A and B are shown apart, each in its own frame.
Chain A
């Protein structure tokens, strides 16, 4: 094992932070729906990829700006998320069964994506990808930086909304104890629909970021599940900021692992972290 140069380490660390931001962005919606609605939404990943493919389609075929595509994607995804929650509430699904049902949704979406866009790799070529600059000896790609900024903005914005607005306080009260909150005049059912819609919309945003920085393939959906779950559990369920911080920690440790050893060892970091978190502090989950 030879130690890489300082520049290479710095570049690895930076790319780790960037990918960690995407972990956090993907984890944001997952954490909210798991922590506040007690639904484990595996379909969140498929939804993000659907968002990525839609961004790809609207931008490369429809000629839209990739970010403008969000104006279409976000409302549609919001509606989908609310509909999914309506279904769960209608059948009063347990947390565990929500995992199974959304597993089914994931498989259907994966098939849909594969049917429309085939199993081939797709890559969005946008003008954002051409913006590059350097900080010292480090190379900074713009799409990744954008992801980091979006992730920070959404995490902080959600946190502030939950803590400083009446709606946010009502949401937290309903998450704590829905019947009691309802007895105090909180419309917990409508709020749950809102939150579920919001989580799905966040998946759409994450999807757009994914399309800007990564090559897409339907099978990639499963590649993100373990590491994002690790980020969400380490960061704390229902906490909007925790997954981002945890994501960045995981992303950088993965990147350093890859720089020091072989890239194929990287999954070991996130999954080992997930196992350790589950064993060490299950009461926090």
Chain B
């Protein structure tokens, strides 16, 4: 029988809590304190940076805010030490949320730019603290502040405080890892734009992760302030904290909740061994070398590697196809006569730096139909899909979906409302399994299922699209045909009312196209309304009820497929003007 991880954490915590009763020399407690301290810092860093891929170099800032909160409250205002810790958490979280509120709105500030801006913020906060009465230059002494008598000795008290924090932080990291928030963060890590369009509220999730991460770092800072009992700006807002937490997490594995803790233990013990042997300088060099080797040879970290190997050995826990037959799989109420169109696009325009991609487009999508959207390359089909799904904001016009104007709404809200899209070039989440990719939209899309139900739903749609055998594979193991069907399964699992299919057939062989046409028919039979963008005319003629033709961002024709394709302006758009009546020189 498998023992769940939280039970393991609790048992380990209880066992470690007995350490002070063995009356070991204070040295052991202080050494273990340091390990717990770095476990808290690295694990809290990982909740934002490891899970969502926003690598912060500013963890020192939030740690420092916590440190100075405790130092100021306890040292200058005589607030009891333990009461300063909630304040430290709160202030650090508020700082983080304030920063995130601004930074997360600028889409390009990812990766290295996010790292730099968080590092710069660290030094700005440090400079302000140094030059204001908060510190003023000489630092703050806390030796006069009484240490709460939780345990008989001071070192035992700090040991227990840090232990509680470490256990609590690991539990939080574990809980987030297995929660909807964690799933959303991992999706943000792989492809933030797609995550948003599939229904993940990316901005809110990043802020939430940042707040939790900063609050934990703030408490760790508050405890550390008392532990060292002398707080200076130079030691607090330095590069050391971000360097260490990144190193620890990268070494242990940023994609696992326990990875940073493993890395923190290894690195702290290693640094300590070097310092104790009077090789502090060599120790720092060793840490640098480990960082380089870890990035080059162990990009997934110790734990990432170990867990992946194990997963390959273990067979899939659930027999494929189990419990699928009873799945309800309807999308929406069938069409009723006299109702408004499902989607009304009115006067929508979109320009990119002077290029008018959409020029006052009007179109209706009726309930239950398959609407073909065709046009030459560059005619605005994909832009229209991007605008309707909320990825781009239209310059003007209304997009009314089920009676509600969704133009300008955030993409994840549009996904919740029931619009789902596929990508012409499949964009699966690279580090999530095929099953997780599909379950994600069942959780975040219109269906909004809990994780167990989402997994059942995902298995159903994998069976439906013929991918059941690949459920535990990573997207990189799929061929193009399978990836296209993964795109399809992913949108179907959200049980959308309106499905936007962007060239799902391109690049497929004729027999694969036949297969796909059957699948799309089966989807429509379950009540979905489909907008079908396609260049494969055989499929368009076979599948669609109506066609809208775009050219240069304008609707140039609309009607029954066989009528529309005979119209001269449509033929001209595709083939150019026939040279009739042109005098030859």
Q: In the complex, A91 Cα to B298 Cα: how many Å?
A: 12
- The residue on A at minimum CB distance from B108 is A282
Instruction: Decide if A260 is an interface residue (CB 8 Å cutoff).
Output: no
Q: By the criterion CB–CB under 8 Å, are B288 and A104 in contact?
A: yes
Tally A-B pairs: CB < 8 A.
113
B interface, size bucket:
35 or more
Q: What B residues does A268 contact at CB under 8 A?
A: 124, 127-128, 131
Which residues on the A side are within 8 Å of B246 (C-beta)?
A: 100, 103
Contact of A264 among B117, B131, B238, B291 (CB under 8 A): B131
Task: Indicate whether B67 reaches chain A with its CB closer than 8 angstroms.
Answer: no
Contacts of A225 in B (CB 8 A): 119
CB of A262 closer than 8 Å to a CB of B: yes
In the complex with contacts A107-B287, A264-B137, A101-B292 CB distance below 8 A? yes
> A282, B128: Cβ atoms under 8 Å?
no
| CB neighbours of B116 from chain A (8 A) | 229, 233, 274, 278
Which one of B111, B250, B282, B295 has the highest number of Cβ atoms from chain A below 10 Å of its Cβ? Answer: B295
B159 CB, nearest partner CB in chain A, Å = 29
Task: Determine if A100 and B282 form an interchain contact, defined as CB atoms under 8 angstroms apart.
Answer: no
> In the complex, how many angstroms separate the beta carbon of B47 from the nearest chain A beta carbon?
19
- Kindly report which residue of chain B lies nearest to residue A87, judged by CB atoms: B296
Residues of B within 8 A of A279 (CB): 102-103, 106, 109, 117
Considering the complex, which residues of chain A in the window 162-176 have a beta carbon less than 8 Å from any beta carbon of chain B?
Answer: none
Q: Given the complex, which residues of B lie within 8 Å of A110, measured CB to CB?
A: 284
A101 to B246 CA separation, bound complex (whole angstroms): 12
> With an 8 A cutoff between CB atoms, is A215 at the interface?
no
A15 to B390, CA, bound (A): 52
A115-139 interface bits toward B, Cβ cutoff 8 Å, 1 = contact, 0 = none: 1000000000000000000000000
> Cβ of B123: which chain A residues have Cβ within 8 Å of it?
226, 267, 271
A101 touching B291, Cβ below 8 Å: yes
The answer to whether A275 and B117 touch across the interface, beta carbons within 8 angstroms, is yes
Complex Cα–Cα for A150 and B282 (A): 36
Q: A274-B120, A275-B121, A279-B106 are in contact. Are A95 and B111 (CB under 8 A)?
A: yes
Proximity bits, A249-285, B CB within 8 Å = 1, else 0: 0000000000000101101100110110011001101
A107 and B288 CA atoms in complex are apart in Å by: 5
CB of A275 within 8 A of CB of B112, answer no
Q: Considering the complex, give the chain A residue whose CB is closest to the CB of B299.
A: A97
Residues of B within 8 A of A278 (CB): 106, 109, 113, 116-117, 120
Q: List the B residue with the shortest CB-CB distance to A280.
A: B106
- Docked complex Cα distance between A259 and B289 (Å): 42
Give chain B interface residues in 274-322, CB to chain A under 8 Å.
Answer: 281-282, 284-285, 287-292, 295-296, 299
Separation of A216 and B22 alpha carbons in the complex (Å): 49
Contact B120 A275 (CB under 8 A): yes
Taking CB atoms and an 8 Å cut-off, the chain B residues in 125-148 that contact chain A are: 126-128, 130-131, 137
Nearest A residue to B53, CB-CB: A96
| Contact across chains for A103 and B124 when beta carbons are under 8 A apart | no
Q: Is A105 an interface residue, CB under 8 A from the partner? A: yes
- B269 proximal to A (CB < 8 A): no
Interface residue? A57 (CB, 8 A): no
Which residue from chain B places its CB closest to the CB of A233 in the assembled complex?
A: B116
Shortest CB–CB separation between residue B242 and chain A, in angstroms? 9
Q: Which residues of B contact A91 (CB under 8 A)?
A: 296
Secondary structure class of chain A's binding surface, majority of residues: helix
> What chain A residues lie within 8 Å of B109 (beta carbons)?
278-279, 282
Q: Provide the residues of chain A in CB contact with B103, threshold 8 Å.
A: 279
Please, which residue of chain A has its CB at the minimum distance from the CB of B111?
A96
Q: Does A108 contact B (CB under 8 A)?
A: yes
Chain B residues with Cβ below 8 Å from A230 are 120
- The reply to whether A40 and B102 contact each other, CB–CB distance below 8 Å, is no
In the docked arrangement, what's the CA distance between A114 and B108, Å?
Answer: 38
Whole-angstrom CA separation of A218 from B117 in the bound complex: 24
Contact of B281 among A115, A262, A275 (CB under 8 A): A115
Complex Cα distance A193/B118, Å?
31
Complexed CA–CA distance, A225 and B122 (Å): 13
The answer on a CB contact under 8 Å between B285 and A111 is yes
Q: Are A107 and B115 in contact (CB under 8 A)?
A: no
A68 at interface by CB-CB < 8 Å: no
State the Cβ distance, A223 to closest chain B Cβ, in Å.
Answer: 10
A105, B292: Cβ atoms closer than 8 Å = yes
* B113 and A100 form a contact (CB under 8 A): no
In this assembly, does A222 line the interface, its C-beta being within 8 Å of a C-beta of chain B? yes
- A183-212 interface code vs B (CB 8 A; 1 in, 0 out): 000000000000000000000000000000
Closest-CB distance, A163 to chain B (whole angstroms): 25
Are the CB atoms of A99 and B127 closer together than 8 Å?
Answer: no
Query: What's the Cα separation between A230 and B137 when bound, in Å?
Result: 25
Known A-B contacts A110-B284, A275-B117; the reply to A104 vs B131 at CB < 8 A is no
Q: Which residues of B contact A285 (CB under 8 A)?
A: 108, 113
Q: 1/0 per residue B247-285: CB within 8 Å of A? A: 000100000000000000000000000000000011011
Distance between Cα atoms of A26 and B102 in the complex (Å): 30
Q: Could you tell me if B124 and A108 are in contact, using CB atoms closer than 8 angstroms?
A: no
A233 to B109, CA, bound (A): 13
Q: How far is the CB of B423 from chain A (nearest CB, A)?
A: 22
Contacts of B284 in A (CB 8 A): 107, 110-111
Q: Once the chains bind, are A112 and B111 in contact (CB under 8 Å)?
A: no
A108 to B130, CA, bound (A): 29
A104 touches B120 (CB 8 A): no
Is B115 in contact with A226, judged by CB distance below 8 angstroms?
no
Q: How far is the CA of A66 from the CA of B143 in the complex (A)?
A: 49
Asked if A106 is at the interface of the complex by the 8 Å CB criterion, the answer is yes
- A264-B130, A267-B124, A282-B113 provided; 9 other pairs, C-beta below 8 A? A87-B296, A99-B115, A103-B288, A267-B126, A267-B127, A275-B117, A278-B113, A278-B120, A285-B108
**Interface pairs (29), CB distance under 8 Å:** A87-B296, A95-B111, A96-B55, A96-B112, A96-B115, A97-B295, A99-B112, A99-B115, A101-B292, A103-B291, A104-B288, A111-B284, A111-B285, A226-B119, A226-B123, A229-B120, A262-B131, A264-B127, A264-B130, A265-B127, A267-B124, A274-B120, A275-B117, A275-B120, A275-B121, A278-B106, A278-B109, A282-B113, A285-B113
Chain B interface (Cβ within 8 Å of chain A)?
A: 55, 102-103, 106, 108-109, 111-113, 115-117, 119-121, 123-124, 126-128, 130-131, 137, 238-239, 243, 246, 250, 281-282, 284-285, 287-292, 295-296, 299
State the 7 A-B residue pairs at the shortest beta-carbon distance, nearest first: A107-B288, A111-B285, A104-B291, A282-B108, A104-B292, A108-B288, A104-B288
Q: Which residues of A contact B (CB under 8 A)?
A: 40, 87, 91, 93, 95-97, 99-101, 103-108, 110-112, 114-115, 222, 225-226, 229-230, 233, 262, 264-265, 267-268, 271-272, 274-275, 278-279, 282-283, 285
